[in-house]
Amino acid sequence: MKITMKRMDRRLTVIGCGLAMLVLGLTPLSHATPHSKAKSADRAVDIARQARDRVERNGKQLTTSSHALFKEFAERTVALQKLIDTRQRLVKAGFLNKGEPEGDARRAHINAKILTEVGELKKVCDKRLEGLLSSLQTFDDSVANSLVDCQATRSINSNYELTLEHYLKQERTHFEQASQDGLEALEAYQNATDPKLKARLLKKYNRAKRRLVRIGQRRQLYEGRIKVADMNQKISGLIREKIRADGNEIASKYRQVMADLYNTFSKIIPVAEAGGTGSPEILANMGFSNVEELRETLDIVDGAIGKLDVVLDDMVNDVLAGLGEIRVVKDTSLASETFSIEEEMEFLNKQREAWNS
């Protein structure tokens, strides 16, 4: 009894191992089916979308971290503008004339006031700089990694298209065979006189016809998938190029703006040093070009913020517009139940024309 049990155990083990091997062996086969191939095209779009989402997510973080800086900046710019306007009015009114003691005193005072306001701008930058640079680094990293991920989408998409084309070729061979069978059955049906034989041949023809219809449906499915794959290729290509063209330079532009600001601040150092070491007269003779430069830089700051928003919006809109071009391929069902040789011949001809078109 024990021996029999042991034998049974061994057999069960062998069967179990066999089943496990079969399952393991079938796993790669299941990946080769048309259904799973459809998933591989989705994979390319998923990668491209994830890359886009990552860039967008980090872009939003960057916008948030830079928002506080630029909000304070905007407020200070208003105060600065007010001072500049007042200075111009004073110049026009002759209150800042050089060589006159009152004019020199007023000139020195308002120049110092303007520089103090620029100093407030600098304090805002000092406070927020580290946070902004850190967000920019994170944004840059996400753009670089997204770009690398997107590179793979080219191959995934074209592999998918190629595989579908291959399936389509195979289907054509099946179609030729089924079409031939259908024609032969139809001719035999026409020539037959015995009602029993006629009924049998009709059934045979209907079987061939159903087969043709099924092949036709599969062809349309493959053709539909090829269209989708082509669209996927365009979508992932679009995202790839958007990230490359626009995302790559945003962080650099932000850093350039900050570098320009600090270059402007550094130009004030000699004036500030002289003013602070007991020679306030130097403030009276100070040129005005530094402040003009600062205003130009502020315009660039505004442009940089706007640019990020525009790029991200464009990216999303372009992709959504591209997606709209995908059409769903409608399935065809069996023709009407009434039977006509002429209609059937026309059906066969149309099927053939569809293959050859």
Partner 1 sequence: MRKTIKASLKAIAAAGAISLLACQWAAAGSLYEYYASASTETLKTDTGEMGSRLAATFDQDNISARQQRIDFAEYYANLKKMVLYADKLSTYSEYGRDLRFARDNEVFKGLPAETGAKGENVQPLHRKDFVNKKFGEMKRNVEEEIETYVDLITISLDVCETLTQNDLSGFTENRKFQGRMATFKRGKEYEGYLAKRARLAERWPSLAARISSQISLWEQTSGSPDEPLINTKIAGAI
- Per CB under 8 A, contacts with partner 1 among 229-258 are 244, 248, 251-252, 255-256, 258
66 binds partner 1 (CB under 8 A): no
Residue 331, both tokens: 């399935």
Contact 234, 154 (CB under 8 A): no
Considering the complex, state which of residue 266 and residue 333 has its C-beta at the smaller distance from partner 1: 266
70 to 99, contacts with partner 1 by CB under 8 A?
78, 82-83, 85-86, 89-90, 93, 95
In 3D space, the residue among 304, 348, 253, 298 whose CA is nearest the CA of residue 118 turns out to be: 298
Number of neighbours of residue 119 by Cβ within 10 angstroms: 14
Considering the complex, state which of residue 160 and residue 205 has its C-beta at the smaller distance from partner 1: 160
Choose which of 13, 263, 332, 340 interacts with partner 1 (CB under 8 A).
263
129 to 158, contacts with partner 1 by CB under 8 A?
129-130, 133, 136-137, 140-141, 144-145, 147-148, 151, 154-155, 158
Contacts of 243 (CB under 8 A, 6+ apart): 51, 52, 55, 143, 146, 147, 150, 315
State in angstroms the smallest separation of the CB of 166 from partner 1: 5
The rounded distance, in Å, linking the Cα atoms of 269 and 243 is 40
State in angstroms the smallest separation of the CB of 221 from partner 1: 16
Contact 299, 264 (CB under 8 A): no
State in angstroms the smallest separation of the CB of 33 from partner 1: 7
CA geometry: angle 9, 12, 16, nearest 5 deg: 140
172 to 231, contacts with partner 1 by CB under 8 A?
none
Return the DSSP state at 357: -
19 to 58, contacts with partner 1 by CB under 8 A?
29, 32-33
DSSP notation for 272-295: HHHHHTT-THHHHT--SHHHHHHH
270 to 329, contacts with partner 1 by CB under 8 A?
271-273, 275-277, 280, 283
Considering the complex, state which of residue 82 and residue 327 has its C-beta at the smaller distance from partner 1: 82
CA geometry: angle 248, 49, 240, nearest 5 deg: 40
Size of the site for partner 1 (CB under 8 A): 72
State in angstroms the smallest separation of the CB of 157 from partner 1: 9
State in angstroms the smallest separation of the CB of 19 from partner 1: 21
Burial degree of 182 (CB within 10 A; 0-12, 13-18, 19+): buried
Choose which of 44, 47, 110, 308 interacts with partner 1 (CB under 8 A).
110
Of 216-224, 259-267, 292-300, 315-323: span binding partner 1 (CB under 8 A): 259-267
Number of neighbours of residue 267 by Cβ within 10 angstroms: 14
In 3D space, the residue among 242, 240, 233, 238 whose CA is nearest the CA of residue 326 turns out to be: 233
Of 54-62, 65-73, 112-120, 210-218: span binding partner 1 (CB under 8 A): 112-120
The amino acid at 287: G
Choose which of 13, 170, 317, 349 interacts with partner 1 (CB under 8 A).
170
Considering the complex, state which of residue 109 and residue 204 has its C-beta at the smaller distance from partner 1: 109
Q: Report residue 126: phi and psi, to 5°.
A: -55, -45
266 binds partner 1 (CB under 8 A): yes
State in angstroms the smallest separation of the CB of 148 from partner 1: 6
